[in-house]
Amino acid sequence: MTEPTMQKDKEDERHDKGDERSESTARRRLSRRSILRMSALGVTAGVVGFGGGRLTAAGAELPDWTAADIPPQNGRRVIVTGANGYPRDGRSGLGYHQALALAVAGADVTIASRNKERGDEAVRRIQAAAPGASVRFETLDLADLSSISAFATRMQAAGDRLDLLINSAGVMGRATREVSIDGFERVFATNTLGPFVLSARLRPLLQNGSSPRIVWMSSSRGHAGGINFDDLQKETGYDYARAYDDSKLGDLLLAMECERRSKASGWRLTSIAAHPGVARTSIVLDGPGLDSSEGFRWRYIPMLWQDPAQGALPLLYAATSPQATGGGYYGPKGLGTTRGLPGVAILPENARDPRLAATYWETLERLGDVSFR
């Protein structure tokens, strides 16, 4: 395993480019603290700051689309990471609703997450809601590279193809910086490095699939994100919000770069990104908690939080719609892109930078000890 500290051994050329990008990022970056302060007051800028993107009418480009519009998925092998957040206490997970909708549509679904007890319960509930559904649980910890490798080995043994991978699992950081078993900052490990390594490990199966797709879960908080190659692990001045925002910009960079490399190399693999807007999941309670700015909104502005089943729709659109395009980015089209049916989302300027994406991709290949070649 390559140690996280290897990122400090950079070539002079990359360091120079990183300096230029850092200056550019600083000019473009939203003030995160300003966003959070406005969010606590419940004004529109605050709504955008938590889970939505820039105010845009781009979503109007798509006709209304719901889970009833999912094409038949019979025979398609699907993996959804996370997906064990079955409904409880008025909240549920986005991956659970993705897995449920795909199982209802006839897909052969594997729920991949850390908690076997919750995963087995999610399977039981999906099978109760969709009798005859083909759904199973497999253990996967995205913050543990050995767990990812073992999971990929099991998937290869279980079949020779995979048609759809939804990188849905994710976390928000807590007040104090935490690290994974491999020594990476926890949010970076779970939200960005883990999904990237998983996608690399499963690419041979995906290439054997029918119209294979990878869907990357992002957030329009990626607009406030930046990539600092000198401190990817947030060892200096850790901030949970910055860790999350940066990880979600990272997911967008990977989604766009994956599509570019697939086209250039003939992988036949479609790569798409999506975000859920603001949904009532457990990510705040399991992350920064109720004493955070996000926790304030959770307690006192409940109308901001849409049903997770609706928040899952942009991911399902990206995963199944024939109209979803490689390199596309989708999210809710209502209330400043924070809620509603799927629409076209606006990519952050940084996410459109192919040089930044290529450097990020190559850095994660080194840190995760994997290659898409």
Determine the 3-state secondary structure of 211 from DSSP.
Answer: coil
Q: Indicate which residues carry an active-site annotation.
A: 244
Residue 44 within any structural domain of the chain: yes
Give the domain range for residue 198. Answer: 4-368
What pLDDT, on the 0 to 100 scale, is given for residue 49?
32
What pLDDT, on the 0 to 100 scale, is given for residue 15?
42
Residue 219 within any structural domain of the chain: yes
Q: How many other CB atoms are there within 10 angstroms of residue 182's CB atom? A: 19
Determine the 3-state secondary structure of 348 from DSSP.
Answer: coil
What pLDDT, on the 0 to 100 scale, is given for residue 296?
87
Question: What sign for the dihedral angle of Cα 330, 28, 45, 36?
Answer: positive
Task: Judge contact between 316 and 67, C-beta under 8 A.
Answer: yes
What pLDDT, on the 0 to 100 scale, is given for residue 324?
97
Distance CA 290, CA 304 (A): 15
Distance CA 91, CA 75 (A): 31
Task: Judge contact between 126 and 78, C-beta under 8 A.
Answer: no
Q: Which CATH number is 22's domain given?
A: 3.40.50.720
Residue 373 within any structural domain of the chain: no
What pLDDT, on the 0 to 100 scale, is given for residue 90?
79
What pLDDT, on the 0 to 100 scale, is given for residue 290?
85
Residue 193 within any structural domain of the chain: yes
Q: How many other CB atoms are there within 10 angstroms of residue 178's CB atom? A: 16
Residue 265 within any structural domain of the chain: yes
Question: What sign for the dihedral angle of Cα 156, 217, 139, 177?
Answer: positive
Residue 24 within any structural domain of the chain: yes
Alpha helix segments (H runs only) across the chain: 12-28, 32-41, 44-50, 94-104, 116-129, 145-158, 186-188, 194-207, 240-265, 293-300, 308-311, 313-320, 354-368
pLDDT in single tens digits along all 373 residues of the chain:
444 544 444 434 444 444 444 434 433 343 444 433 333 333 222 233 333 333 334 444 799 999 999 999 999 999 999 999 888 887 889 999 999 999 999 999 999 999 999 999 999 999 999 999 999 999 999 999 999 999 999 999 998 899 999 999 999 999 999 999 999 999 999 999 999 999 999 999 999 999 999 999 999 789 999 999 999 999 998 999 999 999 999 999 999 999 999 999 999 999 999 999 988 888 887 888 888 888 888 788 877 788 899 999 999 999 999 999 999 999 999 888 889 999 999 999 999 999 999 999 999 999 999 998 7
* Number of compact structural domains in the chain: 1
